[in-house]
Amino acid sequence: MVSERTLPEFNTASVKITKDEGLMLYEDMVLGRSFEDKCAEMYYRGRMFGFVHLYNGQEAISTGIIKALRPGEDYVSSTYRDHVHALSCGVPAREVMAELFGKETGCSKGRGGSMHMFSAQHKLLGGYAFVAEGIPVAMGAAFQAKYRRDAMGDASADQVAVCFFGDGASNNGQFFECLNMSALWKLPILYVVENNKWAIGMAHDRATSQPEIYKKASVFDMVGVEVDGMDVLAVRNVAQEAIARARAGEGPTLIEALTYRFRGHSLADPDELRSQDEKQYWGARDPISKFAAYLLEHNLAEGEELKEIDRRIQATIEDAVKFAEESPEPNSSELYRYIFAEDK
Protein backbone atom coordinates (compact mmCIF):
# COMPACT_ATOMS: atom_id res chain seq x y z
CA MET A 1 0.00 0.00 0.00
CA VAL A 2 1.37 3.38 -1.03
CA SER A 3 0.93 6.45 1.17
CA GLU A 4 -2.63 7.80 1.04
CA ARG A 5 -1.46 11.17 2.25
CA THR A 6 -0.50 13.69 -0.41
CA LEU A 7 2.82 15.42 0.07
CA PRO A 8 2.37 19.19 0.43
CA GLU A 9 3.52 21.13 -2.61
CA PHE A 10 6.26 23.72 -2.33
CA ASN A 11 7.07 26.37 -4.92
CA THR A 12 10.85 26.23 -5.28
CA ALA A 13 10.70 29.32 -7.50
CA SER A 14 9.93 31.34 -4.37
CA VAL A 15 13.24 30.32 -2.78
CA LYS A 16 16.45 32.18 -3.38
CA ILE A 17 19.65 30.44 -2.38
CA THR A 18 23.21 31.19 -3.41
CA LYS A 19 25.50 28.68 -5.01
CA ASP A 20 27.50 28.37 -1.80
CA GLU A 21 24.33 27.68 0.19
CA GLY A 22 23.19 25.09 -2.32
CA LEU A 23 26.49 23.25 -2.30
CA MET A 24 26.60 23.37 1.50
CA LEU A 25 23.14 21.77 1.75
CA TYR A 26 24.04 19.13 -0.82
CA GLU A 27 27.32 18.29 0.91
CA ASP A 28 25.66 17.90 4.30
CA MET A 29 23.07 15.50 2.92
CA VAL A 30 25.68 13.47 1.06
CA LEU A 31 27.78 13.31 4.23
CA GLY A 32 24.83 11.90 6.14
CA ARG A 33 23.94 9.31 3.49
CA SER A 34 27.53 8.18 2.90
CA PHE A 35 28.19 7.93 6.63
CA GLU A 36 25.15 5.74 7.18
CA ASP A 37 26.01 3.49 4.23
CA LYS A 38 29.46 2.96 5.74
CA CYS A 39 27.88 2.18 9.12
CA ALA A 40 25.80 -0.56 7.48
CA GLU A 41 28.95 -2.00 5.89
CA MET A 42 30.85 -1.97 9.17
CA TYR A 43 27.93 -3.51 11.06
CA TYR A 44 27.44 -6.39 8.64
CA ARG A 45 31.18 -7.03 8.60
CA GLY A 46 31.09 -7.46 12.37
CA ARG A 47 33.16 -4.38 13.16
CA MET A 48 30.34 -2.39 14.77
CA PHE A 49 28.07 -3.75 17.48
CA GLY A 50 24.86 -3.05 19.34
CA PHE A 51 21.69 -1.50 17.95
CA VAL A 52 22.23 0.76 14.93
CA HIS A 53 19.35 2.75 13.44
CA LEU A 54 20.12 4.48 10.15
CA TYR A 55 18.76 7.73 8.74
CA ASN A 56 18.85 6.99 4.99
CA GLY A 57 16.06 8.86 3.20
CA GLN A 58 15.49 11.48 5.90
CA GLU A 59 18.55 13.67 5.22
CA ALA A 60 16.58 16.68 3.98
CA ILE A 61 15.10 17.12 7.45
CA SER A 62 18.36 17.12 9.38
CA THR A 63 20.05 19.39 6.84
CA GLY A 64 17.08 21.68 6.28
CA ILE A 65 16.47 22.28 9.98
CA ILE A 66 19.91 22.21 11.60
CA LYS A 67 21.72 24.18 8.92
CA ALA A 68 19.21 27.01 9.49
CA LEU A 69 20.36 27.29 13.13
CA ARG A 70 23.31 29.16 14.59
CA PRO A 71 26.06 26.55 14.87
CA GLY A 72 27.38 26.06 18.38
CA GLU A 73 24.69 28.32 19.87
CA ASP A 74 21.27 26.78 19.28
CA TYR A 75 20.36 23.45 20.86
CA VAL A 76 19.45 20.16 19.20
CA SER A 77 17.85 17.13 20.87
CA SER A 78 17.83 13.91 18.87
CA THR A 79 16.47 10.36 19.00
CA TYR A 80 18.07 6.92 18.67
CA ARG A 81 18.45 7.72 14.94
CA ASP A 82 21.01 10.39 15.76
CA HIS A 83 24.23 9.97 13.73
CA VAL A 84 23.20 12.37 10.96
CA HIS A 85 21.82 14.96 13.39
CA ALA A 86 25.25 14.95 15.04
CA LEU A 87 27.02 15.41 11.71
CA SER A 88 24.71 18.30 10.72
CA CYS A 89 25.46 19.93 14.09
CA GLY A 90 29.14 19.93 13.15
CA VAL A 91 30.36 16.99 15.21
CA PRO A 92 33.34 15.67 13.17
CA ALA A 93 32.77 12.42 11.29
CA ARG A 94 35.80 10.99 13.09
CA GLU A 95 34.21 11.51 16.49
CA VAL A 96 30.83 10.11 15.41
CA MET A 97 32.40 7.00 13.88
CA ALA A 98 34.69 6.48 16.87
CA GLU A 99 31.64 6.63 19.14
CA LEU A 100 29.98 3.93 17.08
CA PHE A 101 33.10 1.81 17.49
CA GLY A 102 32.97 2.41 21.27
CA LYS A 103 36.31 4.22 21.34
CA GLU A 104 37.66 6.78 23.80
CA THR A 105 37.97 9.35 20.99
CA GLY A 106 34.23 9.25 20.31
CA CYS A 107 32.07 12.30 20.97
CA SER A 108 30.71 10.56 24.10
CA LYS A 109 34.05 8.94 24.98
CA GLY A 110 32.80 5.58 23.75
CA ARG A 111 30.18 5.41 26.50
CA GLY A 112 27.17 6.35 24.42
CA GLY A 113 27.38 4.33 21.24
CA SER A 114 24.94 4.62 18.38
CA MET A 115 21.87 5.78 20.31
CA HIS A 116 23.42 8.25 22.75
CA MET A 117 25.47 10.78 20.79
CA PHE A 118 26.25 13.91 22.80
CA SER A 119 28.44 16.97 22.28
CA ALA A 120 28.38 19.95 24.64
CA GLN A 121 30.61 21.90 22.24
CA HIS A 122 28.12 21.55 19.39
CA LYS A 123 25.03 21.98 21.62
CA LEU A 124 23.88 18.46 20.77
CA LEU A 125 21.84 17.52 23.83
CA GLY A 126 21.97 13.83 23.07
CA GLY A 127 20.38 10.94 21.30
CA TYR A 128 17.73 9.12 23.34
CA ALA A 129 16.86 5.44 23.15
CA PHE A 130 13.50 5.72 24.90
CA VAL A 131 10.77 7.05 22.64
CA ALA A 132 9.93 10.73 23.40
CA GLU A 133 12.65 10.91 26.07
CA GLY A 134 14.36 13.91 24.49
CA ILE A 135 11.24 16.09 24.32
CA PRO A 136 11.36 17.40 27.92
CA VAL A 137 15.14 17.82 27.67
CA ALA A 138 14.78 20.08 24.65
CA MET A 139 12.00 22.00 26.37
CA GLY A 140 14.31 22.55 29.33
CA ALA A 141 16.95 24.03 27.06
CA ALA A 142 14.37 26.38 25.57
CA PHE A 143 13.11 27.33 29.04
CA GLN A 144 16.56 28.28 30.33
CA ALA A 145 17.13 30.55 27.32
CA LYS A 146 13.74 32.20 27.86
CA TYR A 147 14.37 32.57 31.62
CA ARG A 148 17.83 34.05 31.17
CA ARG A 149 16.51 36.59 28.71
CA ASP A 150 13.25 37.59 30.41
CA ALA A 151 13.96 37.06 34.11
CA MET A 152 17.68 37.76 34.23
CA GLY A 153 17.86 40.46 31.57
CA ASP A 154 20.43 38.66 29.40
CA ALA A 155 19.77 40.13 25.95
CA SER A 156 22.17 37.65 24.35
CA ALA A 157 20.04 34.69 25.44
CA ASP A 158 18.06 34.30 22.23
CA GLN A 159 18.97 30.69 21.56
CA VAL A 160 16.47 28.33 19.96
CA ALA A 161 16.05 24.64 20.75
CA VAL A 162 15.08 22.01 18.19
CA CYS A 163 13.57 18.72 19.26
CA PHE A 164 13.54 15.84 16.76
CA PHE A 165 11.31 12.80 17.31
CA GLY A 166 9.37 10.26 15.30
CA ASP A 167 5.68 9.77 14.62
CA GLY A 168 5.47 7.14 17.37
CA ALA A 169 6.54 9.68 20.00
CA SER A 170 3.57 11.91 19.20
CA ASN A 171 1.34 9.47 21.08
CA ASN A 172 3.37 9.68 24.30
CA GLY A 173 2.51 11.77 27.31
CA GLN A 174 5.67 13.89 27.20
CA PHE A 175 4.63 15.18 23.79
CA PHE A 176 1.35 16.65 25.02
CA GLU A 177 2.66 17.93 28.34
CA CYS A 178 5.65 19.68 26.81
CA LEU A 179 3.68 21.21 23.95
CA ASN A 180 1.23 22.60 26.49
CA MET A 181 3.96 24.18 28.64
CA SER A 182 5.89 25.46 25.64
CA ALA A 183 2.84 27.21 24.26
CA LEU A 184 1.82 28.56 27.67
CA TRP A 185 5.27 30.06 28.27
CA LYS A 186 5.99 30.90 24.58
CA LEU A 187 9.25 28.99 24.63
CA PRO A 188 11.71 29.30 21.71
CA ILE A 189 11.50 25.73 20.48
CA LEU A 190 10.80 23.80 17.28
CA TYR A 191 9.19 20.40 17.69
CA VAL A 192 10.11 18.44 14.56
CA VAL A 193 8.21 15.23 13.90
CA GLU A 194 10.07 13.05 11.40
CA ASN A 195 7.04 11.10 10.25
CA ASN A 196 8.50 8.17 8.32
CA LYS A 197 5.17 6.29 8.57
CA TRP A 198 6.54 3.41 10.61
CA ALA A 199 7.16 3.36 14.35
CA ILE A 200 9.40 0.26 14.39
CA GLY A 201 6.89 -2.18 12.86
CA MET A 202 3.58 -0.42 13.37
CA ALA A 203 2.16 1.65 10.53
CA HIS A 204 1.52 5.20 11.75
CA ASP A 205 -2.10 5.32 10.57
CA ARG A 206 -2.92 2.28 12.73
CA ALA A 207 -1.44 3.77 15.89
CA THR A 208 -3.10 7.16 16.27
CA SER A 209 -6.59 8.64 16.15
CA GLN A 210 -5.25 11.71 14.31
CA PRO A 211 -2.62 10.74 11.69
CA GLU A 212 -2.01 14.38 10.72
CA ILE A 213 0.24 15.19 13.65
CA TYR A 214 0.75 18.88 12.85
CA LYS A 215 -2.95 19.48 13.49
CA LYS A 216 -2.42 18.58 17.15
CA ALA A 217 -0.71 21.96 17.54
CA SER A 218 -4.10 23.70 17.29
CA VAL A 219 -5.12 22.27 20.68
CA PHE A 220 -2.34 24.34 22.26
CA ASP A 221 -2.90 27.45 20.15
CA MET A 222 0.47 26.74 18.55
CA VAL A 223 1.59 27.09 14.94
CA GLY A 224 1.48 23.68 13.23
CA VAL A 225 3.08 23.13 9.83
CA GLU A 226 3.13 20.20 7.43
CA VAL A 227 6.11 19.95 5.07
CA ASP A 228 7.52 17.62 2.44
CA GLY A 229 10.40 16.06 4.35
CA MET A 230 11.98 14.83 1.11
CA ASP A 231 12.56 18.42 -0.10
CA VAL A 232 15.43 20.18 1.66
CA LEU A 233 14.38 23.62 0.41
CA ALA A 234 10.83 23.20 1.69
CA VAL A 235 12.14 22.06 5.08
CA ARG A 236 14.66 24.89 5.24
CA ASN A 237 11.98 27.48 4.42
CA VAL A 238 9.68 26.22 7.17
CA ALA A 239 12.59 26.08 9.63
CA GLN A 240 13.71 29.64 8.93
CA GLU A 241 10.21 30.98 9.52
CA ALA A 242 9.80 29.00 12.76
CA ILE A 243 13.24 30.02 14.04
CA ALA A 244 12.48 33.68 13.35
CA ARG A 245 9.22 33.40 15.31
CA ALA A 246 10.98 31.70 18.20
CA ARG A 247 13.73 34.34 18.43
CA ALA A 248 11.13 37.09 18.30
CA GLY A 249 9.43 35.67 21.38
CA GLU A 250 6.40 34.38 19.48
CA GLY A 251 6.65 30.87 20.85
CA PRO A 252 7.01 27.31 19.57
CA THR A 253 6.19 25.60 16.29
CA LEU A 254 5.22 22.00 15.60
CA ILE A 255 6.64 20.86 12.26
CA GLU A 256 5.54 17.56 10.77
CA ALA A 257 7.98 16.49 8.06
CA LEU A 258 6.62 13.70 5.90
CA THR A 259 9.48 11.38 5.05
CA TYR A 260 10.51 7.73 4.69
CA ARG A 261 13.39 5.63 5.94
CA PHE A 262 14.95 3.65 3.14
CA ARG A 263 16.21 0.88 5.43
CA GLY A 264 14.57 -1.17 8.16
CA HIS A 265 13.98 0.17 11.65
CA SER A 266 17.46 -0.98 12.63
CA LEU A 267 20.17 -2.98 10.89
CA ALA A 268 18.80 -6.05 12.69
CA ASP A 269 15.39 -5.52 11.06
CA PRO A 270 14.75 -7.72 7.96
CA ASP A 271 12.26 -5.04 6.81
CA GLU A 272 9.61 -7.49 5.68
CA LEU A 273 6.52 -5.53 6.79
CA ARG A 274 6.63 -2.73 4.23
CA SER A 275 5.45 -3.35 0.68
CA GLN A 276 7.73 -3.02 -2.34
CA ASP A 277 5.27 -0.57 -3.90
CA GLU A 278 5.56 1.70 -0.89
CA LYS A 279 9.36 1.52 -0.90
CA GLN A 280 9.51 2.31 -4.61
CA TYR A 281 7.09 5.22 -4.25
CA TRP A 282 9.26 6.90 -1.64
CA GLY A 283 12.57 5.79 -3.15
CA ALA A 284 11.71 7.76 -6.29
CA ARG A 285 11.59 10.87 -4.07
CA ASP A 286 15.15 10.52 -2.80
CA PRO A 287 15.96 13.96 -1.31
CA ILE A 288 19.59 13.94 -2.46
CA SER A 289 18.86 13.05 -6.08
CA LYS A 290 16.00 15.56 -6.07
CA PHE A 291 18.19 18.38 -4.80
CA ALA A 292 21.09 17.54 -7.12
CA ALA A 293 18.70 17.86 -10.07
CA TYR A 294 17.51 21.22 -8.71
CA LEU A 295 21.07 22.55 -8.43
CA LEU A 296 21.90 21.52 -11.99
CA GLU A 297 18.63 22.83 -13.42
CA HIS A 298 19.08 26.26 -11.78
CA ASN A 299 22.77 26.56 -12.73
CA LEU A 300 23.83 26.50 -9.08
CA ALA A 301 26.29 23.67 -9.69
CA GLU A 302 28.08 21.77 -12.42
CA GLY A 303 27.94 18.01 -12.55
CA GLU A 304 31.66 17.75 -11.87
CA GLU A 305 31.31 19.94 -8.78
CA LEU A 306 28.79 17.52 -7.30
CA LYS A 307 31.00 14.56 -8.15
CA GLU A 308 33.93 16.28 -6.45
CA ILE A 309 31.82 16.72 -3.30
CA ASP A 310 30.91 13.02 -3.47
CA ARG A 311 34.59 12.07 -3.72
CA ARG A 312 35.62 14.39 -0.90
CA ILE A 313 32.92 13.03 1.38
CA GLN A 314 33.93 9.47 0.62
CA ALA A 315 37.51 10.30 1.61
CA THR A 316 36.21 11.85 4.84
CA ILE A 317 34.27 8.69 5.66
CA GLU A 318 37.21 6.41 4.97
CA ASP A 319 39.38 8.62 7.17
CA ALA A 320 36.76 8.41 9.94
CA VAL A 321 36.79 4.61 9.84
CA LYS A 322 40.60 4.50 9.95
CA PHE A 323 40.62 6.93 12.87
CA ALA A 324 38.02 4.90 14.74
CA GLU A 325 39.80 1.60 14.21
CA GLU A 326 43.13 3.01 15.39
CA SER A 327 41.70 4.83 18.42
CA PRO A 328 42.12 3.38 21.93
CA GLU A 329 39.40 1.59 23.85
CA PRO A 330 38.15 3.29 27.03
CA ASN A 331 40.32 2.40 30.01
CA SER A 332 38.60 -0.08 32.32
CA SER A 333 39.95 1.84 35.30
CA GLU A 334 37.62 4.70 34.30
CA LEU A 335 34.49 2.56 34.22
CA TYR A 336 32.61 4.90 36.58
CA ARG A 337 33.86 8.15 35.09
CA TYR A 338 31.42 10.58 33.41
CA ILE A 339 28.54 9.34 35.54
CA PHE A 340 28.64 12.51 37.63
CA ALA A 341 29.69 16.05 36.73
CA GLU A 342 33.38 16.74 37.25
CA ASP A 343 35.05 19.89 38.54
CA LYS A 344 36.90 21.74 35.80
Inter-helix orientation angle 59-66/287-297, to 10°? 60
Residue 287 in contact with residue 60, Cβ under 8 Å?
A: yes
Q: How far is CA 127 from its chain centroid? A: 10
- Nearest CA among 2, 17, 3 for reference residue 234: 17
Average pLDDT over residues 197-218: 92
Secondary structure (H, E, C), 279-312:
HHHHHCCCHHHHHHHHHHHCCCCCHHHHHHHHHH
Distance separating alpha carbons of residues 129 and 240, to the nearest angstrom: 28
Sketch the domain layout of the chain as residue ranges. 17-323
Q: How many C-beta atoms surround the C-beta of residue 303 within 10 A?
A: 10
Query: What kind of fold does domain 17-323 have according to CATH?
Result: Rossmann fold (3.40.50)
Residue 14 or residue 69, greater confidence? 69
Which tens digits make up the pLDDT trace of 302-327? 999 999 999 999 999 999 999 999 99
Q: How far is CA 268 from its chain centroid? A: 21
Average pLDDT over residues 224-240: 98
pLDDT over 60 at 185, yes or no = yes
H/E run at residue 191: strand 189-195
Distance separating alpha carbons of residues 57 and 263, to the nearest angstrom: 8
Which tens digits make up the pLDDT trace of 102-126? 999 999 999 999 999 999 999 999 9
> In which band, very low, low, confident or very high, does the pLDDT at 13 lie, cut at 50, 70 and 90?
confident
**Alpha-carbon Rg for the chain in angstroms:** 20
pLDDT over 50 at 2, yes or no = no
- The percent of residues in the chain predicted with pLDDT above 70, rounded, is 99
Distance separating alpha carbons of residues 196 and 194, to the nearest angstrom: 6
Q: What is the pTM of this model?
A: 0.96
> In which band, very low, low, confident or very high, does the pLDDT at 344 lie, cut at 50, 70 and 90?
low
> In which band, very low, low, confident or very high, does the pLDDT at 1 lie, cut at 50, 70 and 90?
very low
Q: What CA–CA distances, in Å, run from 57 to 30, 33, 133, 279, 285?
A: 11, 8, 23, 11, 9
Q: What CA–CA distances, in Å, run from 68 to 60, 62, 96, 105, 160?
A: 12, 10, 21, 28, 11
pLDDT over 80 at 4, yes or no = no
Q: β-strand 161-166 against 75-77: which pairing, if any?
A: parallel
Over the chain, what is the mean pLDDT?
A: 95
- Nearest CA among 74, 162, 169, 161 for reference residue 122: 74
| CB-count burial class (<10 Å; 0-12, 13-18, 19+) for 299 | exposed
Residue type, 176: F
Average pLDDT over residues 17-25: 97
